[in-house]
A and B are shown apart, each in its own frame.
Chain A
């Protein structure tokens, strides 16, 4: 309660922080980092290697960037009471398109826009199925989820596809390069986050998405064009997945549609949920979603450096995630508090 009181702003300012829910994902992240610090004393050490910052903490931020971008898109879609299972497939298609157009000899700056355009097309496809035809989101996006990686393989076939690796100073610079000391993708991620925040919170789009997700019928009667809002959410989700796709593809500079970003949709959904949003829609927490993505990546990184046998990876991950989600649940928290109060008596 103390923490909650501190976080509660007086008057205007940040109305979203009123809820105690902001506390838990942040605490979870801190707990994981402290655990790492105890385990690896130089965990927080940051050096400069090859002209860029280098260290575990940078690694977490670096690896979390694509997941965070996908999660932000997912947060919008979940805000409309939907879900997008096809983000991983969108990334696979984006990767294949990048590799294909590089082999075709397009200028790389053009390829960047081609890749993002393809991602937007994926978003339009999902948005049309959900908002236009009224198909349930989980089914509608399942179509692209299932077919997307196959489409990626097909695109790889367009140029033979035996060796889909490539070199692109521009795209690799965006992904693995650095600006002064900072990895470029962190800069890219931060810019995209701010841009998205402006679009969602400095226009009425966020309010409309939340209204539609909370009660579509009421939002419609209040004059909000629910279908258009849902459509826009899926398109933005596709675009953000495309940005993540560019980073991930340029990271390994190869197109690997079968395995790239495998299960990223699940991580993204998890990040949104850890960030405190309900799959029932109606709320978007952009900042907390990024925290959620960081929690997942910090966890993955700690497991990797812990020297734990790989057989235990998934179990440890799921146990920690479960604890975080339980802490999030008001119900469980209530019962735990009751337990302690009972003891005190």
Chain B
């Protein structure tokens, strides 16, 4: 993990050296860290795409610590960057540093997670995907595919995490519209393949081979891939006997969709620079009142 960061850091240093300050805009980006698969891909996309938009991106990895992140933001302010992008580590404790940025006339854009500040004018807008919407899209697809008639087992993400709470809430909001749709079993698979497989094995036993179950909804693809393995080992046909819908659209899920072992996956984009940079550049050219949340669309991928 650290090696990746070093590589990325070195690449960044080189590009900055080579480019100098010939760029139109200088933007500071304070990233949470480099945990998981999605975030490093997100960071890499932001760094790679910066040049295309003529942006000199100053990237800072907070290594999961807020004090590190506050230091980075203050450094950006001191350098007098044109704009600051923050992927916040936590939601609270931002009032003061955002006020400092505002006093220095530097607009702040949030990506990914939200912040909790009394004065919403402290940042321009938040540009991110909507976990709740992802849950809704998955629910809507399933409602249509099952004609509103479906008993569901749910593989939750890590208990208490924002994606787990929101995807569950969005999904629930849709199926609540249909009297014959309900979640009959739900458990946490911790967002891992191993966890998804273990939980699905237990579901298979406790529901007598998924008798009467029409679908499996997983909060991410990894867990769903584990569930697919568990079903195949129990002699079931995922994708045919059971409708499989999940979130992320990782490469392995694309294969599973192609093989007909899964039915649908809502994409959580990591290539989001194309949604973020234009908003910022437009704002820098002509400041205007933007909505406080600009949602990055989530595409639904289904099996053929």
A15 within 8 A of B: no
Partner of B198, one of A149, A157, A165, A304: A304
Partner of A252, one of B3, B186, B193: B193
Report the minimum CB–CB distance from A248 to chain B (whole Å).
7
Report the minimum CB–CB distance from B15 to chain A (whole Å).
20
Residues of A within 8 Å of B199, CB to CB, are 304
Are B3 and A310 in contact, with the CB atoms below 8 A? no
- Please name the residue on chain A nearest to B157 by beta carbon: A310
Are B3 and A154 in contact, with the CB atoms below 8 A? yes
B288 within 8 A of A: no
Are A248 and B194 in contact, with the CB atoms below 8 A? yes
Report the minimum CB–CB distance from B8 to chain A (whole Å).
12
Are A254 and B252 in contact, with the CB atoms below 8 A? yes
- B residues with CB within 8 A of A: 1-4, 35-37, 156, 159-160, 185-188, 190-195, 197-199, 201-203, 205-206, 208-209, 222, 225-226, 229, 233-235, 251-252
Are A150 and B192 in contact, with the CB atoms below 8 A? no
Q: How far, in whole Å, are A309 and B37 apart by their CA atoms in the complex?
A: 28
Residues of A within 8 Å of B2, CB to CB, are 150
Residues of B within 8 Å of A304, CB to CB, are 187, 198-199, 202-203, 206
Mark out the residues of chain A between 161 and 188 whose CB falls within 8 Å of any chain B CB in the assembled complex.
162-163, 165, 176
Report the minimum CB–CB distance from A156 to chain B (whole Å).
10
Partner of A310, one of B187, B209, B251: B187
A251 within 8 A of B: yes
Report the minimum CB–CB distance from B74 to chain A (whole Å).
29
- Please name the residue on chain A nearest to B205 by beta carbon: A56
Q: How large is the interface on A (under 10, 10 to 19, 20 to 34, 35 or more residues)?
A: 35 or more
15 A-B pairs whose Cβ atoms sit less than 8 Å apart in the complex? A49-B209, A150-B3, A157-B3, A162-B251, A248-B194, A251-B229, A252-B226, A252-B229, A254-B193, A262-B190, A301-B202, A309-B186, A310-B187, A310-B188, A313-B188
Residues of A within 8 Å of B229, CB to CB, are 176, 251-253
Q: Mark A294-337, 1 if CB is under 8 A from B, else 0.
A: 00000011001101011101000000000000000000000000
Q: Report if A59-B201 is in contact (Cβ < 8 Å); known contacts: A254-B252, A307-B206.
A: yes
Residues of A within 8 Å of B233, CB to CB, are 50, 176
Report the minimum CB–CB distance from A190 to chain B (whole Å).
20
Mark out the residues of chain A between 229 and 261 whose CB falls within 8 Å of any chain B CB in the assembled complex.
248, 251-254, 256, 258-261
Q: Report if A258-B35 is in contact (Cβ < 8 Å); known contacts: A50-B235, A309-B186, A311-B160.
A: yes
Are A305 and B205 in contact, with the CB atoms below 8 A? yes
Q: How far, in whole Å, are A259 and B222 apart by their CA atoms in the complex?
A: 11
Are A310 and B156 in contact, with the CB atoms below 8 A? yes
Q: Report if A49-B206 is in contact (Cβ < 8 Å); known contacts: A251-B197, A309-B186, A310-B159.
A: no
Partner of B159, one of A54, A55, A262, A313: A313
Q: Report if A259-B202 is in contact (Cβ < 8 Å); known contacts: A153-B4, A163-B252, A254-B252.
A: no
Q: How far, in whole Å, are A309 and B201 apart by their CA atoms in the complex?
A: 17
Residues of B within 8 Å of A307, CB to CB, are 185, 206
Q: Report if A256-B234 is in contact (Cβ < 8 Å); known contacts: A150-B2, A154-B3, A163-B251.
A: no
Q: How far, in whole Å, are A79 and B159 apart by their CA atoms in the complex?
A: 35
Report the minimum CB–CB distance from A126 to chain B (whole Å).
21
Residues of A within 8 Å of B209, CB to CB, are 49
Q: How far, in whole Å, are A256 and B3 apart by their CA atoms in the complex?
A: 17
A283 within 8 A of B: no
Q: How far, in whole Å, are A50 and B202 apart by their CA atoms in the complex?
A: 17
Q: How far, in whole Å, are A259 and B190 apart by their CA atoms in the complex?
A: 9
A63 within 8 A of B: yes
Q: How far, in whole Å, are A253 and B256 apart by their CA atoms in the complex?
A: 14
Report the minimum CB–CB distance from B193 to chain A (whole Å).
4
- Please name the residue on chain B nearest to A162 by beta carbon: B251
- Knowing that A305-B205, A311-B159 are A-B contacts, what are 4 other residue pairs whose CB atoms are under 8 Å apart, sorted by A's residue number? A150-B2, A176-B233, A252-B225, A258-B37
Q: How far, in whole Å, are A150 and B63 apart by their CA atoms in the complex?
A: 14
Mark out the residues of chain A between 254 and 308 whose CB falls within 8 Å of any chain B CB in the assembled complex.
254, 256, 258-262, 300-301, 304-305, 307
Partner of A256, one of B186, B194, B201, B235: B194
Q: How far, in whole Å, are A273 and B201 apart by their CA atoms in the complex?
A: 28
Q: Report if A49-B235 is in contact (Cβ < 8 Å); known contacts: A252-B197, A310-B188.
A: yes
- Please name the residue on chain B nearest to A164 by beta carbon: B252
Interface centre among A63, A176, A259 (most CB of B within 10 A): A259
A40 within 8 A of B: yes
Q: How far, in whole Å, are A211 and B234 apart by their CA atoms in the complex?
A: 47
Partner of B3, one of A153, A254, A311: A153
Q: How far, in whole Å, are A88 and B206 apart by their CA atoms in the complex?
A: 29
Are A260 and B192 in contact, with the CB atoms below 8 A? yes
Residues of A within 8 Å of B1, CB to CB, are 149-150, 153, 258
Residues of A within 8 Å of B191, CB to CB, are 259
Q: Mark A32-59, 1 if CB is under 8 A from B, else 0.
A: 0000000010100000011000111001
- Please name the residue on chain A nearest to B250 by beta carbon: A163
Report the minimum CB–CB distance from B35 to chain A (whole Å).
7
Report the minimum CB–CB distance from B232 to chain A (whole Å).
9
> Which 8 A-B pairs rank lowest in CB-CB distance, beginning with the nearest?
A304-B202, A310-B188, A305-B206, A259-B192, A252-B193, A50-B235, A150-B1, A310-B159
Are A252 and B194 in contact, with the CB atoms below 8 A? yes
Report the minimum CB–CB distance from A169 to chain B (whole Å).
14
Q: Mark A142-154, 1 if CB is under 8 A from B, else 0.
A: 0000000110011
Are A55 and B205 in contact, with the CB atoms below 8 A? yes
Residues of B within 8 Å of A259, CB to CB, are 190-192, 194-195
Report the minimum CB–CB distance from A41 to chain B (whole Å).
11
Q: How far, in whole Å, are A256 and B160 apart by their CA atoms in the complex?
A: 22
Q: How far, in whole Å, are A162 and B250 apart by their CA atoms in the complex?
A: 9
Report the minimum CB–CB distance from A42 to chain B (whole Å).
8
Q: How far, in whole Å, are A193 and B13 apart by their CA atoms in the complex?
A: 53
